[in-house]
Each structure stands twice: as structure tokens, then as C-alpha cells.
Amino acid sequence: MADIARLADHVGQAVTVRGWVHHLRSSGKIRFLVVRDGTGLVQGVLVKGQLPDGDFQEFDRLTLESSLILEGLVRAEPRAPGGFELTVTRLEPLQIPQDYPIAPKEHGVGFLMDHRHLWLRSPRQQAILRVRDEVFRACRDFFHGQGFVLVDTPILTPTACEGTTSLFETDYLDRGKAYLSQSGQLYLEAAAMALGRVYCFGPTFRAEKSKTRRHLTEFWMVEAEAAFFTLEDIMGLAEGLVSYVVQEVLAHRGQELKILERDISPLEAAVPPFPRISYGEALARLNEGGQEMAWGEDFGGDEETLISQAFDRPVMVHRYPRQCKAFYMEADAANPELALCVDMLAPEGYGEIIGGSQRVADLEVLLTRLAEHRLPREPLEWYLDLRRYGSVPHSGFGLGIERLVAWLCGLKHVREAIPFPRLLDRLYP
Ligand code: 4AD
Ligand code: MG
């Protein structure tokens, strides 16, 4: 048994390859088939007399996505996809599909999304999934290298973290309501008081009522939290993480980026230092550019695109008005109307990929905030304990994986950045 990606090790040898038919072609007395096995593509050549007659005839029954086993001799063939060819000596179909729904022609996105379970087999979708896998690996390596400990946070939770309007609610046995986690942050804060530097990496859920190219209802987030870190510290950490992941993807997924026809120059530019501007500066730039906006409002996708257009790499916008941000953000001592927070905006119109902040460390302040945001105190007593028992300044951020993958791959919509997207209007397949 040989992986197609490893055929270089088997030149001149007989191998067995198992996979699916990607392409079929006849030319005179010769038959060609391109087979995919998940590791790569190889062309098999069938010449009458070089394999049993019955096997040669089986070729005519094959259709796209037929599963099969091939035996053959490996030859170096620079013109073939992958650089090798198989002279087939045995062909054994496993299952032959009728009417594979995805033809090599243009399909609408709705159709492809309905057939997402099959669409994943296309070279483009495979390339995206491999980039995504690399992003996960690189994030873990980065945090491990920085001495962060992975701590898993719960998905079923008794409270909101990021506002009550996007909560998914479920019945929790006979204990009333539970909510699907919008962020692991609050639990990560507890873990940071135990382990110092921690991160979590998991699915998060938001009942987003908006249909945009940047919103999923289920998405993956990697979140970091560190005791004694200030806003400045996590800005440095966020910049280190994103530049590391980008460089790792460039180093190991060049082939995939080529399949995606991604212009890699904007990725190559994503090296530190990333520009840092305050919310005030960003707002002034918007108003100068004719995009009128009042102080105090959060930026939307359009504003983020305009702001990031001025830079060739991700930009960090810090110190937004507290009034448009979450309850847990520490106020800026220099101007208490501002939060010690940061959003990282990706270039090329991709917008916010990271949100983070320094957290309120004082118990009384936090109690006031809960009241202001009309959040119930009782289910958050444990969170208040963190301010009662050895409270310290601490900070963290969350990176949205699909937004990052969408930018890295140059995708039009985050729905292609996750294997099975969950959207306002999609729960199938
Ligand atoms: O800015 P957000 O809401 O921040 C938090 O959740 C913090 N509790 C994180 C922390 O400090 N530990 O979300 C963080 C990131 C966003 O910048 C965005 O990349 C992504 O999560 N995100 C989404 N991605 C896809 N679909 C959605 N509906 C998303 N909502 C947020
Ligand atoms: Mg945010």
C-alpha cells in the first residue's frame, strides 16, 4: 500500500493505491484515470495486455468518484500531475456511483453548500482544509512555545459572555436553562489565576441574526489569557501569534495557496511590527475620508475595511469607547470613557480577526459593570471570586479561526473556511 504523496519512494516498484476516480479519459487503445487518495493525485495508464482483460474492461464502467484499488508500476513522469505515473496491472472497483451530483462545471453556492459533504472532495476545498489544519497546528505550537497551558473550557454554560442577544439557549435537564458558550474567556480567567498563562481552543456559538460573509453561528476560537499581562502585553502576543501562523502557512502550505490562486504578497507582508492606532485616530481617519460616524459606536465591516486599507499588514485598533464593548473590559486610567481593549483588523477587507482586552480587576468596579449591563450576579459569583481572592491585572484575546483562514486563503465568505458551516439559514448537512 502506498500513499500517492510518497510515490517518489517507489519509482520502479509495484505498488497498490486505494482511492477515488478524479478524472477519466480514453485515447485510442489507452485508458487514463486520475486517482485521488487524500494525499495527492496520480495518473494511472491502462494498456491492453498489461493487465487482465477483465480489469481493462472494468474501466468502461467507472464514473467520477468511483472508489477503487489499483496496482501498478511507478514511473517518474514530469508531465503528470504529481510527477509520477502508474502503469496499471490490476484494477478493482469497490463501488461505482451513478450520477455524482457535482460535475466539473460551475454550480451555485447554495447547491454546493447542500452538497457540502461531497464538495469537500474538490481540490479547492481540500486545500482550504489543509490550510485550516496548519493554522490549528501553528496556534498550538505558538502557545506551547510561549509557555501557555491548554485549558479546556465548558460549552454548556449558565451565563452570557459576549452579550445576551446572540445566545443559544437549551434546556439543561431539570436545572433550567443553559447556554452554548460564546467564548471560553471567563473560565480561562479562572485558569490563568491557577496556571499563569493559559489558552483554550474550541467551538463557540453565537445566534447571529445577521447574514454577512464574516458571521457563522458556530465558529472556532483560540483564546489566550495571562495573569499580570497588560493591554500592551497582549497586543504583542496577538501580533506574535498572527505573524507566526501566517509564516507557518506560507512555509508549509505553499502548494495549497497555489491551488487557491492566492496572491501571497499580502501574507508575506504580515511581519511585526503591526501598526497600532487608537479608536480616536481610526475615527478621525474615517471622518476625514467622508465616512461619517459618531464617537461611541463600534466599527462595522465597512468601517473596518476603510481603516485597514491604509496599511499593508494587520492593524491593531485599541482603546474603543467602553460603551460599545463588553462588561469585563478594564477602563483606561488616562480616560475612563475608554476600554483597555484591542481589535486586530486583517487587510484586504477581511476586518476583525481578534478581539481582546485587559480585564476589570477590582470587585466593586465589576459589580457596577454587571449592573450596568443588566447581567445577573448569582451565576457569576464564581467569577467575582477571582476578584476576591488574589485579584491581579490580567488580559487576553480571542482569535476567530475561520476569519483568519478566510483571509489566508483569500475566500469570499467564511462558510468555506469550516468543514460544515452553521449559518443563520443553514444547519444541513
Ligand atoms: O471579539 P469577540 O467577540 O471576543 C471575545 O469573544 C472575547 N471573549 C475573546 C477573549 O478576549 N478571550 O470574538 C473574538 C473573535 C472575533 O475577533 C472574530 O474573529 C471571531 O471571534 N468571531 C466570529 N467569527 C465567525 N463568526 C462569528 N459570528 C464571530 N464572532 C466573533
Ligand atoms: Mg469583537
- Give residue-wise pLDDT tens across range 112-165: 999 999 999 999 999 999 999 999 999 999 999 999 999 999 999 998 888 888
Q: Is 330 in the pocket of ligand 1 (CB under 6 A)?
A: no
Q: How far is the CA of 24 from the centre of ligand 1 (A)?
A: 45
pLDDT for 196 equals: 98
Beta-ladder partners of 70:
17, 91
Q: How far is the CA of 204 from the centre of ligand 1 (A)?
A: 9
Q: In which residue are the cell numbers 476560537 written?
A: 221
Q: Is 396 in the pocket of ligand 1 (CB under 6 A)?
A: yes
Q: How far is the CA of 398 from the centre of ligand 1 (A)?
A: 6
pLDDT for 161 equals: 85
pLDDT for 104 equals: 77
Cα atoms in the 13 Å half-sphere on the side-chain side of 341: 26
Helices of type H across 290-362: 301-308
Which grid coordinates belong to 70? 489499483
Alpha-carbon gap, residue 182 to 63, rounded angstroms: 44
pLDDT for 407 equals: 98
Q: Is 208 in the pocket of ligand 1 (CB under 6 A)?
A: yes
Segments in the chain below pLDDT 50? none
Which is the closest atom of ligand 1 to the Cα of 357? Answer: 11
pLDDT for 26 equals: 96
Which grid coordinates belong to 105? 462545471
Alpha-carbon gap, residue 191 to 151, rounded angstroms: 7
Q: What is the DSSP letter of 359?
A: B
Q: Is 402 in the pocket of ligand 1 (CB under 6 A)?
A: yes
Q: How far is the CA of 160 from the centre of ligand 1 (A)?
A: 13
Which one, of 30, 97, 39, lies nearest residue 67 by Cα? Answer: 97
Beta-ladder partners of 177:
171
Alpha-carbon gap, residue 419 to 425, rounded angstroms: 16
SS3 assignment, position 43: strand
Q: Write the pLDDT tens digit of every residue in 220-247.
A: 999 999 999 999 999 999 999 999 999 9
Query: For a substitution probing ligand 1, which of 206, 211, 221, 340 has the most ligand atoms within 8 Å of its CB?
Result: 221
Strands (DSSP E) contained in 155-246 are 156-157, 169-171, 177-180, 197-205, 218-227
* Atom 21 (ligand 1) nearest CA: 400
pLDDT for 133 equals: 98
Which grid coordinates belong to 371? 449592573
Residues 6+ apart with CB under 8 A from 373: 327
SS3 assignment, position 231: helix
Q: Is 359 in the pocket of ligand 1 (CB under 6 A)?
A: no
Kindly list the structural domains of the chain, giving each domain's residue range(s) and its CATH number in brackets, ordered by start. Answer: 4-95 (2.40.50.140), 116-417 (3.30.930.10)
Which one, of 25, 33, 14, lies nearest residue 73 by Cα? Answer: 14
| 286, 246 contact by CB (below 8 A) | no
* Atom 28 (ligand 1) nearest CA: 215
Radius of gyration of the chain (CA): 26
* Atom 18 (ligand 1) nearest CA: 400
pLDDT for 411 equals: 98
For the whole prediction, is pTM greater than 0.85?
A: yes
Q: Is 325 in the pocket of ligand 1 (CB under 6 A)?
A: no
Residues 6+ apart with CB under 8 A from 56: 31, 46, 48, 91
Cis peptide before 273 (omega within 30 of 0): yes
| 175, 389 contact by CB (below 8 A) | no
Which grid coordinates belong to 87? 502503469
